[in-house]
Amino acid sequence: MDIIVVILNVCKISENIKSTNNMKTINKHNRNNYIIKIDIMTKILLLLFILLLSAPAAAAVNYGGILQGRSVYNVDDGSQLDFLLPRARLILTGKVNDEVGFFIQSNMGSIIDVKLNYACTRLKTVFTLGRFLPNYTYYMPIHTGKLDFIDYPQLTAKTAPWRQVGFQTQTKLSGAVKFNLGLFNGALEPDNWADTTRDGKDLLVNLQYQGRALFLKSYWWLINAAGGSEGAAEGSRIGMAAKYSIPDLKLIGEFLLTDFGGSRKGISYYLQGAYKFPAERVELLFRWDIWDPDNDITGDKNTRMTLGLNYYLQGEDAMFYFNIISVRSGQSAVYYVPEIQYQILF
């Protein structure tokens, strides 16, 4: 029972917990001091990981984290200088055995990711259950400490379903090809641990290829597609991504079509490149980034061009990002946003 209290106190999971008449009491010394109610999904997930952490076999436990601080001079917001702390995360990962593992991540004291992985070697498939980032766009499942720029491209930032509750499979079809299938609640963050507002679920289909220098990925996200009372999906997002990388040079492109039930169809794409100088401390980057939320409306296209410089003190574990973003929203005038971010991984 002590481990429950440690998890609750350290991660402040009470932000995801609501007090009601149907209550459960947890305390290290006095069970009557903490009275909380945990929604059904959270209760199941916590039980899974409490059992995992309590099991004698769960010896392979790793701790880590990420800290990112940012300074932004926002010309569009009255030429204001802002200091931000977008991410201060603690990460707990571990394995019970060769088949079962877990991942828990908190940000600013609140749990944001909880997932259980089961690797079935006979089926060459990994089953994932919990609340996590689905394998959606190129950048969607990537660790936030391994992003090339400070910001996500608009393709991901504007269309991603972000953290979802559900399950996902990843099957290795060959040495280079993997297939993902996922089913999720589809509710949006932050309060989407339990979703009772939709009778349908969102469906994800994903196919990716990883060669020596070439990476290809195609994906399809269907909104309210499985089990919905209407009998048809309410919308979709379909896209593809490609990356070509050799030592010191990386080129990435991605393309996405959105369809929200036929009433609004949009398009987004970007091209970017990065070159790391031989000393491996300095990397120069450029991104051209387009987001058009509605093809039928003229003048709503958002264009961003980002020039970036990354300086690595100790690889990705300690580094600085320097970005200058040229922004044009619709038919408004172009303005520039300089950003600086430091990063520490451990």
Q: What is the pTM of this model?
A: 0.80
- pLDDT band of 37, cuts 50, 70, 90: very low
Residue whose C-alpha is closest to residue 34's, from 42, 26, 44: 26
For the cut 90, the answer to whether the pLDDT of residue 197 exceeds it is: no
Residue whose C-alpha is closest to residue 309's, from 299, 298, 318, 320: 320
Structure tokens at 318: 């300690």
| Nearest-angstrom CA–CA distance, 344 and 90 | 12
Among the residue ranges 40-49, 195-204, 211-220, 226-235, the one predicted with the least confidence is: 40-49
For Cα atoms 32, 112, 322, give the angle at the middle one, nearest 5 degrees: 140
- pLDDT band of 5, cuts 50, 70, 90: very low
CB 94 within 8 A of CB 60: yes
Beta-strand (E) ranges in 148-281? Answer: 164-172, 177-184, 201-210, 214-226, 235-246, 249-259, 265-276
For the chain, what is the mean pLDDT?
Answer: 82
3-class DSSP state for residue 253? strand
| Nearest-angstrom CA–CA distance, 6 and 27 | 10
Instruction: Quick: pLDDT tens for 268-326.
Output: 999 999 999 988 899 999 999 999 999 888 888 999 999 999 999 999 999 999 999 99
Burial of 230 (0-12, 13-18, 19+ CB in 10 A): exposed
pLDDT at 55: 53
Instruction: Quick: pLDDT tens for 209-266.
Output: 999 999 999 999 998 876 555 555 578 899 999 999 999 999 999 999 998 776 789 9
Q: Which CATH architecture has domain 60-345?
A: Beta Barrel (2.40)
pLDDT at 73: 83
3-class DSSP state for residue 2? helix
If one compares 86 and 40, the residue with the highest pLDDT of the two is 86
CB 155 within 8 A of CB 253: no
Q: Is the bond preceding residue 278 a cis peptide, omega within 30 degrees?
A: no
Strand partners, 83: 71
3-class DSSP state for residue 51? helix
Instruction: Quick: pLDDT tens for 75-91.
Output: 665 667 888 899 999 99
pLDDT at 41: 52
pLDDT at 30: 36
Size (the chain), residues: 346
Mean pLDDT of 138-142: 94
Query: Where are the domains positioned within the chain?
Result: 60-345
Strand partners, 207: 179, 218
Instruction: Quick: pLDDT tens for 214-228.
Output: 999 999 999 887 655
Burial of 93 (0-12, 13-18, 19+ CB in 10 A): middle
Helix axes 2-11, 40-54, angle to 10 degrees: 120
If one compares 161 and 268, the residue with the highest pLDDT of the two is 268
